[in-house]
Amino acid sequence: MNILAIETSTQACSAALLCRGQLAQRYRVAPRGHGELILAMIDELLREAGLTPSRLSAVAFGRGPGAFTGVRIDTAVAQGIAYAADLPVVPVSTLAALAQAGYRLKDYRAVLCATDARMGEVYWGAYQVQRGVVSLLGEECVCRPEAVPSPGKGAWRGIGNGWAVYAGRLPDVLAQTPEQQMTDLLPRAEEVALLARYEFEQGRVVAAEQAMPVYLRDSVAQKSIKL
C-alpha cells in the first residue's frame, strides 16, 4: 500500500509518503507559499521512493477545519493528483490528525483538540483512542471557547494552539494544566497518512471530484473548489 498525504491547513506545510510500511515526511512551518512548497515536497518524496503517482494506492489530505486558503490548497492538490492518476482520495480531519499525533508522541488516549479559528472562536473535537486509532466523540464544531461541549471528567489531554490562545476560557477538565499540553503542535501529514491507511482499509474513500473541504463555518462552507 502506497499512500501520499498532504497537509496545508495551518501555517505548517507538510507531505508524507507511506510506502511499503515505511513513513517519510517533509515538514516546514511557513506563513505563505504553501502551494509551491507542497508540490516540491511531493516531488521529492516520490522521487526518493522511485514512485510515480500512478503507483500510489490513494491520495490523502487534511480536509479541515483550518485556515480557509490552506484547506483549499490541500483539497485542490489532492484532487488534481488523484484525478490525473485515477486514484481514490481519503479526506482526513485535521483535528483527528492532531489527536493521533498526541497518541503517537505522548501516548495520549483521551484528547481534546482546540485550535484557534480566529474571530474569538475555536475549532473543537474530542477523541479517544481505540485499537491505536483516534475516534471522534460527538461532532467537531466551531464556537466560542466558553461554549465548547464539555466531555465530562476524565484523563483528558489538550492539544492545539487554542489552549494557549484562549487559556482560562476553555473547560477545566484537563488532567494536566494547559502549559503541560501540546499547545504548539500543528497538524502533520504523517498522521494524515496513518489515519488514511485505516480509512482506506475500511473502504472509506471518495472519487477525486467528491473530495471536499470541511470549514465548519457556514459562511465559507458553500464556496466551491476549482482545479
pTM for the model: 0.93
Reported as type and span, the H/E element at residue 97 is: helix 94-106
- Per-residue pLDDT 10s for the chain (227 aa) are 999 999 999 999 999 999 989 999 999 999 888 999 999 999 999 999 999 999 999 999 999 999 999 999 999 999 999 999 999 999 999 999 999 999 999 999 999 999 999 999 999 999 999 999 999 999 999 999 999 998 888 889 999 999 999 988 998 888 776 666 789 999 999 999 999 999 999 999 999 999 999 999 864 444 443 33
Q: Please write down the HEC assignment for all residues of 120-159.
A: CEEEEEEEEEECCEEEEEEEEEEECHHHCCCCCCCCEEEE
The sheet that has 157-159: what strands, in order across it?
133-143, 121-130, 110-118, 157-159
Which domains, and CATH codes, for the chain? 2-93+187-221 (3.30.420.40), 94-180 (3.30.420.40)
Nearest to 2 by CA among 130, 90, 75: 90
Reported as type and span, the H/E element at residue 26 is: strand 22-29
221 is written with which cell numbers?
Answer: 462552507
92 vs 100: CA distance, rounded Å: 11
